Structure 1
């Protein structure tokens, strides 16, 4: 009897335990299901390539907005209204002036007050916010962003994205994606002056030197070349064809040597010295204005548009602005200017650049939002779908532009954009908010060229036909600790390089002291910096 009761008790215990296990599984499944759905409020159940995102309910979304002085923020832009109408999302911008954007962005992120969407973030600018966990590891959520994923695969951008990956193998910024490399900055020249004196438009930097020598003889009171952007853009475009990096493109100060499969310090190379020697010659012979390195942009522009210089660096937008100014200063029909194909150099006819553009960093706080999936779908549609990219660039079909059966887009009669429809009385950016720097980046070559003048398309075609794209360099995925060390080393090294680059070009330091300059860099920890980079690179590729 006792044995039977004991056996019965054991049977009940097993049944009870089984019930608990079943109940536990059921509760876990429920909990898991609830957790799965907690971030899906407003998200579309089916969202694929070609779909227009529309939240199932209205919600507000905070965004950092860089305010351009040439087309300042307006609350009543059609841009905002149409975004809300199309997606059910009301963007709530935190307005930050262009001049303060990087600093203000850092302060807002560090204080925990940053909006959830942080656009206008260039690849590399997200790195300081990785260790703190402030930036979302967006690579974890590619499956929720079909348009981004599709363009990466279709345009074979995987190798370029590798350069964004941190030590943990993830990337923390969604870059703008271009179908192809496209150059914008080059030299703008007074083509009428060149033609008047039968001077050929230069195709190499050596030919530019010869042309400027001739101009100086003809116009002894004019310094042929007076530049803007504190000469950083010119150094950038020239460096590529000298086989090095400088100016805006100096980056981390390292250049990958494929033959050695290692990184070398850029500023110590023969190619960098050759670049400095060339521009020092221009300064010494009075062909390049010394003030190019220190003057405000407006000062350089005034010299160019009033005939006190004949060459300046610029892009497709600045050439239009210069024409507007020169119509007033020199008189319409009394001049002609044009962008020239970037001159070739000792390294050949190369085209530097990347297919990755500035893009979007997402605050890690977005993960806590009940609308998290909807936020990812919204960003994916607005920044990476063909429809969203056309919308942020051209505006609303029937209101700001029309579209023909063959896909050709045309601004409506009253709307102007960058000289595309000069008779228009309203500006696409100023009056409507489209084609601004916060949204309209990336896309197909067709979309990119759809807003270009015939002159600009010709420049793009010339560059594409004549140049060979410089391949992307392999990534250096530092650990959090190493990145701090890298920052401590690289900042003073770059500052010292910038100072001496200027001195060498201006002749304030003789180029015979270049070897001494290299030793001074080594004394400031250059070798330690290079060794750390190469160790990280080698370890990552074992």
Structure 2
């Protein structure tokens, strides 16, 4: 048997009592946010950290982070971005590099295998839901009291309703979203304004006016394809659907649309509004006004048609319009054309605009709360992603090196370009320095967002703001773990079948007279059960709230 002396037993007992006392004390150190962090989780944290206080770790530490590698500005380990983060904060990032094209899949594999780094940016709201049941990611809503800049912006900008939409069945949210002060649109139609002006064709303000304009262009240029689109038409369907009172393309989401008058969700692709939208685009295709290849061609193929003058309308954003101008200077000649983003046309439901102030954001692994630097990690993320200083740094870089600032106006230094802001610059803010990339630079005030906009883009934003009414956010559907799995099993084939038949109806491969048959086919794939489950969950959430 064991032969311990009384002295040794006494020492062991005393150590155990001291250990329990320390644990009991440290368990009371947590903030009211519910974190309950222990003393050894405060390593490197600042005691006086607060709103717009520059973060500097009291002890340097390394932080593993997942990094989505964008081919347009590929990762470089010696970027000034990383060097400056370490210099300013004492935090050395240790990125796990994943190609952007494989990011979602690789992220899932790393989390499920337990090999994911502690911090996982580039996570869009909703993408975190599949990781909640495993307990792999942190319920960050428990810890926002340790993130004063995040909390401050939520309160100042009234973001509570948007954040409520992220809450899971347990009432917590598991992703820190990027947050914009206001809804801001980017994608719209780009048109050859010189061709419109030359032929006295008004810039269309509605989709019906676009039809009239395209029809006129086809008459004048019979060998042209007036409208040839990119993004496999998903962006155009997304922006058009709102004006038709529905959702489609990139905005189709879970396939559910909330009807306020009935206080319930319906399946989007079964509605009269969705059918009206299909009918409209089918008319464009059948009359040769919309290129059938818009749904299958690559972005490069669509772009080539536009920049060569074979088409006059294409979907795009503030970046693509700059790229198109560069290409068209070569293909058509500088000064021999003009193109512009137009205000998104209105539809039968009115001049409406969908959009969210939430951006892709950050997940944190649950095991981070066992890390000695846990509090410092939260402070660092709060500073980089949510403080005015951190957001400006991630976007513009280092004052006096990559940009100057006078009377509040920022300007890139002479030799640096970004998205056509300084076209004579021989170096690129993203490619050569790492700033303004999608992993760190998103969210912030409208002033910061528009600080990198051209005058043309600022006018587009102002026109959209004056013309459009923002569609209210829909209420959340916080499924339980079991119900979420069931909803996923039901929603995936329903969406796939809707996508397939959307294409067929628009291209005329299936007559619109069969729309009711299509709805019945969806019912045969579990449509009623899916909608019933969603409404049951929503009603339960509403009653609980």
Deviation at 1:351, TM superposition (A): 1.1
For the pair 1:32 / 2:33, whether they are aligned, the reply is: no
Query: What residue in structure 1 maps to residue 528 of structure 2?
Result: 527
Q: Aligned partners of 1:140, 1:453: CA distance in 2, in Å?
A: 40
Deviation at 1:26, TM superposition (A): 6.9
Q: Deviations over 1:180-206 (max 9, x none)?
A: 000000000000100110111000000
For the pair 1:368 / 2:370, whether they are aligned, the reply is: yes
Q: Deviations over 1:15-63 (max 9, x none)?
A: xxxxxxx999876442234552121110111211010111111111111
Q: Aligned partners of 2:149, 2:274: CA distance in 1, in Å?
A: 41
Query: What residue in structure 2 maps to residue 152 of structure 1?
Result: 154
**Structure 1 residue ranges without an equivalent (≥5):** 1-21
Divergent runs of 4+, >6 A:
22-26
Q: Aligned partners of 2:383, 2:126: CA distance in 1, in Å?
A: 24
Q: Deviations over 1:314-358 (max 9, x none)?
A: 000000000111111111111100000000010000111000000
Change (3 A) 1:436 1:486: same
Q: Aligned partners of 2:430, 2:16: CA distance in 1, in Å?
A: 58
Specify which of 302, 324, 327 is matched with residue 326 of structure 2. 324
For the pair 1:230 / 2:222, whether they are aligned, the reply is: no
Matches within 5 A, 1:407-446: 407-446=408-447
Query: What residue in structure 2 maps to residue 189 of structure 1?
Result: 191
Query: What residue in structure 1 maps to residue 297 of structure 2?
Result: 295
**Structure 2 residue ranges without an equivalent (≥5):** 1-13, 28-37
Change (3 A) 1:197 1:82: same
Q: Aligned partners of 2:348, 2:341: CA distance in 1, in Å?
A: 21
Q: Deviations over 1:246-277 (max 9, x none)?
A: 00000110111101111111111100000000
SS in 1 for 2:41: coil
Query: What residue in structure 2 maps to residue 130 of structure 1?
Result: 132
SS in 1 for 2:55: coil
Task: Compare 366-375 and 269-278 and name the one that shifted more.
Answer: 366-375
Query: What residue in structure 1 maps to residue 497 of structure 2?
Result: 496
Q: Aligned partners of 1:118, 1:307: CA distance in 2, in Å?
A: 43
Q: Aligned partners of 2:390, 2:498: CA distance in 1, in Å?
A: 42
Q: Aligned partners of 2:261, 2:182: CA distance in 1, in Å?
A: 26
Deviation at 1:311, TM superposition (A): 0.5
Q: Deviations over 1:363-396 (max 9, x none)?
A: 1121121111111000000000000000000000
Q: Aligned partners of 1:32, 1:400: CA distance in 2, in Å?
A: 50
Query: What residue in structure 1 maps to residue 181 of structure 2?
Result: 179
Give the count of matched residue pairs.
521
Q: Aligned partners of 1:301, 1:115: CA distance in 2, in Å?
A: 38
SS in 2 for 1:360: strand
SS in 2 for 1:382: helix
Relative to the length of structure 1, the TM-score reads 0.95
Query: What residue in structure 1 maps to residue 280 of structure 2?
Result: 278
Query: What residue in structure 1 maps to residue 68 of structure 2?
Result: 66
Q: Aligned partners of 1:223, 1:27: CA distance in 2, in Å?
A: 77
For the pair 1:164 / 2:156, whether they are aligned, the reply is: no
Q: Deviations over 1:482-527 (max 9, x none)?
A: 0000010000000000000000000000000000000000111000
Q: Aligned partners of 1:326, 1:377: CA distance in 2, in Å?
A: 47
- Coordinate RMSD, CA, aligned: 1.3
Matches within 5 A, 1:503-542: 503-542=504-543
Q: Aligned partners of 1:227, 1:24: CA distance in 2, in Å?
A: 71
